[in-house]
Chain A
Amino acid sequence: MPSASDLTRTAVRPGFTPGRVARGVLLVALVAAVASFPSLAPNPYILSAGIVVLNYALLSTSWNFVGGFTGYISLGHGALAGLGAYGTGLLVTRAGVPSFLALVIAALAVAALAVPIGYAALRVRGASFVIVSIALVLVLLLVFQSWASFTGGSRGLTVPRPFPDLLRPEHHRVFWFLFAGLLAVALLAWWLIDRSRFGLGLKAIREDEDKAESLGIPTFAYKLVVFVVSAGFTAAAGGLYALWFGDLDPVFQFSILTGSYMVLMALLGGVRTLFGPLLGALVVGTALEYFKVEYGNTPLHLVATGLLLALVVLFMPDGVLPALAAGLDRFRPAQQSIREVTAAELREQRERDAASPELAGASPGAPSTKERP
């Protein structure tokens, strides 16, 4: 059954256009590049650096289920990843559960835990949501540090390797493909939601939550479901990281910086696009490495990260690449659909209209975004 978004899409670009073919080719090229990277990597270090970037991509894609669809900015996803990591680690070490079964159980458990968290956080809007997301990281840090008899506290938790016989370079290779596989699943899930009615409802929440509600969209349930999905993927990413990395420490697992990197990567790449967070992860992952090399002995890497985030927020809140693309689009014939106009743009437009009195009477509450001049 074609959804509304499919209709728009077909109306705009029917059939196999050159663009669509090109996209297909590039997708194949991307898959090929990912598949061949381990054999191209000249040494295990490059491979492990690649895994770190892939982990970032996975985290920010998982974050983007909430951030991209609903517009709710969570700074607390680092906590969910940390819970996934510790959940997996504790199941393996304390309960003797096989590694990957532990990962699945931990991801599901965190998803279940996301229900009450989401219930408290999503009942309220905007500000309180952000506060809860930050508080989540801080409180979990305290709990995992203090409850040392169970979590190992600041002595850390060592997670045994799932493949004890593999040499380190081989171990990296296996985990490269595991991370890539999980990323593919996350991207596929995002893509499916994006094309579904559910996704349409979520985007309506992002644009105007009150209107979405008055149109009969069960906004709270929708938000909660997508939050739970996001939490599940984030936790799975954390769990996989735990199995790969092996050493967990509360300070690094429950860090606000992790959450903020996810936000930065997703925003930079563009939250409305499937590959945006992945791209953002490549850029930020490389940039972090660069900042470190460049400002190695000083904390200026923090300053650089902060400035980058501030610039994105101030000038390109929809992402750098979407901003570039929008720049290019000025030279093309205008094609508009409901997705291209944010509530923010609409409101600005209304404010512009309100400023010129002759239009003011016609404009307030303009019902259809499609009639944008």
Chain B
Amino acid sequence: MTTRMTTMRWATAFGATMVLALAGCSGGDDGGSSSDDPIVVGISLPLTGDFSEPGKGVQRGYQAWAKIVNDKGGLLGRQVELKILDDQSNADRVVSDYEQLIGQDQVDIVVGPFSTRLVVPAARVAEEYGMLFVEPAGAAKEVFEQGFKNLFYAAPAVADDHYNHLAEYILGLPAGQRPATAAYAAMDDPFAQGTAYGLKKKLEEGGVRTVVDEVYPPNTTDFSGIAAKIASSKADIVVGGSQYQDGVNLIVALQQLDYQPKLAAFSTAPTSPEFAAAIGNKTEGILAPTGYTQKAPYPSNVEFVEKYTAQFGSPPEEDEANAYTTGQVVAAAVTAVGCAEQGECQQKLVDWVRNNTVETVVGPLSWDATGKPQGAHMIQQWVGGEIQIVLPADAKETDIVYPKPAW
């Protein structure tokens, strides 16, 4: 039994050392903050894995925010330092990251990660350590149903309200023009599905009959089956609760079947800079909601677009803007309350955000008791080979085209 014995001995000895080593390999980080210390902002982001692309966008947004703040002398006279961890798009990781940021690294402020799936577990950690948690990406209504008291979503509207202006427009059409039937296809994702179902609920209440209601898993790559169902239903309008690539695939599959709806609305995908090329420039008339536009006239946005472009070489997209907005909200609270550290300060920050309106790159933001922002998204449409704002009427760059031309 020598082998066994040796292994056992090895195992126990090694086990004990490892446990002790693990216990010993930390400490020392007792984050006493003086006025010269930088304000450390802890963030966990999906830099690898499924959400890595938007995750990197959010990272750039935060970096731009830190640079712009620091160039002006920082917050409360202290420099802002970002501490970014990679959560690999994994909920287990995101929780341990925030544990590490709050418990071990003693960061002064935490802000949110990307994607609804990761926001909820992360927000719970922040909540239980009593930290303010402003986040750029948890748009689904579930996020606000968890009873979080410290969470604020830094964007104009939650997913279900993205299409509010479009719903109003459709239901306001004269009876003869109003669509009678609608087909919905949504990714099985709280955010994407939220957008489509928000519109579906309003249209159904307004009497537009649902003829197709498909939900597909995030990893779906072949959309021909779904497209066949939609095409054969001959629905007047098609609504896609999509992220990026699934939206592109669904549109191409619908075009392959020569389906021509009167209106086609897809979330996220059509606002991407690569969208037109991805579907072979057959974009005419496609609609999409957006929470951010580079052309928005708010003063901080003009500064953001200019400095961001100087720093990264291209103008910011919605993910970058949301992260920047998050930074703006935190900065406003810190400046007003006059502190930024763990402990009692956090509750003061929470109370301040709850009771105030913050001017941001997406306009003035305020929140209800659950942290839900009180606004709606603008609606953009591809008109003349360019995506332009068509709704609401007071912000429009051009008139909405309905029914849409053939694609």
Q: Which residues of A contact B (CB under 8 A)?
A: 8-9, 12-13, 19, 22-23, 26-27, 29-30, 33-34, 37, 40-46, 48-50, 52-53, 142, 145-146, 148, 153-156, 158, 167-169, 245-247, 249, 251-252, 269-270, 272-276, 278-279, 282, 286, 292, 296-299, 301, 319, 321-322, 324-326, 328-329, 332, 335, 337, 340
Contacts and interface: CB of A to CB of B under 8 A. Distances in A.
Contacts of B13: 26
Interface residues of B, number: 59
12 contacts: A23-B9, A33-B15, A41-B23, A46-B104, A48-B99, A50-B22, A155-B190, A168-B129, A246-B124, A247-B91, A273-B7, A282-B18
B3 interface: yes
B112 to A, nearest CB: 15
Given A154-B189, A273-B7, A245 B95 contact: yes
Contacts of B85: 296
Contact of B27 (A8, A9, A42, A252): A42
A145 B189 CA distance: 10
Given A37-B23, A249-B117, A325-B6, A45 B99 contact: yes
B90 A46 contact: no
B6 A328 contact: yes
B368 interface: no
Given A44-B103, A49-B22, A158 B120 contact: yes
A158 B96 contact: no
Contacts of B93: 292
A243 to B, nearest CB: 14
Contacts of B111: none
A154 B91 CA distance: 12
Given A42-B104, A153-B188, A155-B190, 20 more contacts: A13-B5, A37-B22, A42-B27, A45-B102, A46-B26, A52-B96, A148-B188, A148-B215, A154-B189, A156-B120, A158-B120, A246-B124, A247-B91, A247-B124, A269-B11, A275-B7, A275-B12, A279-B15, A299-B48, A299-B49
B4 A273 contact: yes
A157 to B, nearest CB: 11
B2 interface: yes
Given A34-B19, A50-B22, A154 B117 contact: yes
B8 A43 contact: no
B5 A278 contact: no
B59 to A, nearest CB: 10
A300 to B, nearest CB: 9
B86 A292 contact: yes
Contacts of B88: 292, 301
A321 B23 contact: no
Contact of B23 (A46, A148, A156, A298): A46
Given A167-B128, A279-B14, A52 B1 contact: no
B37 interface: no
Taking chain A's interface residues, is the majority helix, strand, or loop, or is none over half, making it mixed? Answer: helix
B386 interface: no
Contacts of A282: 14-15, 18
B178 to A, nearest CB: 31
Contact of B10 (A29, A272, A296, A321): A321
B47 A329 contact: no
Interface string B76-107: 00000000011010111101100110111000
A50 to B, nearest CB: 6
A299 B3 CA distance: 37
Contacts of A270: 7
Contact of B1 (A29, A167, A276, A335): A335
Contacts of A13: 1, 5
B121 interface: yes
B397 interface: no
A245 B92 contact: yes
A26 B103 CA distance: 32
A51 to B, nearest CB: 10
Contact of B11 (A245, A249, A275): A275
Interface centre among A275, A278, A299 (most CB of B within 10 A): A275
B302 interface: no
Instruction: Describe B's contact surface by its main secondary structure.
Output: helix
Top 9 A-B residue pairs of the complex, sorted by shortest distance between their CB atoms: A275-B11, A26-B12, A45-B103, A42-B27, A40-B23, A325-B6, A43-B103, A247-B121, A45-B104
B12 A30 contact: yes
B140 interface: yes
A298 to B, nearest CB: 6
Contact of B7 (A34, A249, A325): A325
Interface in B64-84: none
A33 B16 contact: yes
Given A8-B1, A153-B188, A30 B15 contact: yes
Contacts of B303: none
B20 interface: yes
A154 B302 CA distance: 37
Nearest to B23: A40
Given A30-B12, A45-B104, A168 B128 contact: yes
B5 A19 contact: yes
A273 B121 CA distance: 37
A272 B188 CA distance: 43
B142 interface: yes
A335 B2 contact: yes
B1 A252 contact: no
A217 B129 CA distance: 56
B403 interface: no
Residue from A53, A169, A321 whose CB has the most chain B CB atoms within 10 Å:
A321
Contacts of B190: 154-155
A322 B7 contact: yes
B91 A252 contact: yes
Given A44-B103, A332-B2, A252 B92 contact: yes
A142 B217 contact: yes
Contacts of B103: 43-46, 48, 169
Contacts of A325: 2-3, 6-7, 10
Contacts of B2: 325, 329, 332, 335
A268 B175 CA distance: 70
B11 A279 contact: yes
A156 B145 CA distance: 13
B15 A275 contact: yes
Contacts of A50: 19, 22-23
Contacts of B22: 37, 46, 49-50, 53, 286
Nearest to A153: B188
B83 to A, nearest CB: 12
Nearest to B218: A154
B117 A26 contact: no
B382 to A, nearest CB: 29
Interface string B119-161: 0110011001100000000001010001000000000000000
